[in-house]
Amino acid sequence: MSYKEKAKANKKETAELFKAAPVDLKAFMHMHDLNMKEDALDVKTKELIALAIAISTKCEGCIIAHVDALAKAGGTREELVAMIKVCLLMNGGPGTVYGAKALAAFDELTAE
């Protein structure tokens, strides 16, 4: 399954969870929206941080969502690779595997 297909499936599954637990998901999305807007940190930096955490926790759905958000915030492949190298330092093997997933997702989701 491609990353675009996985992103679509993730959105569909999340929509179903939203129907099942609307109060909780609305609260989570409110917290997300509050914390991911620009303040002392710009949105691109926050997306790089979120993506580093997604790689470290091995959350492929989070990787896909935050790669897409990083690209929309103006993040570059070079910035992503620089962040992945820090994940490699801090996470070793898992940072390599999930960092590679993040890079592949970025390449696919930003391809013209």
Tokens of 76: 């570059």
Tokens of 66: 């935050």
pLDDT in tens, 48-74: 999 999 999 999 999 999 999 999 999
Helix 60-72 with 93-109: angle, nearest 10 deg: 50
Tokens of 41: 């940190």
pLDDT at 112: 76
Query: What is the end-to-end Cα distance of the chain in Å, rounded?
Result: 19
Amino acid in position 41: L
Burial of 10 (C-beta count, 10 Å sphere; 0-12/13-18/19+) = middle
Determine the average pLDDT of the residues in 36-46. Answer: 98
pLDDT at 71: 97
pLDDT in tens, 80-96: 999 999 999 999 989 99
Domains and CATH numbers, the chain: 3-109 (1.20.1290.10)
pLDDT tier, 3 (very low <50, low <70, confident <90, very high otherwise): very high
Mean confidence (pLDDT) of the chain? 96
Report the Cα 25 to chain-centroid distance in Å.
Answer: 18
Tokens of 40: 């002392």
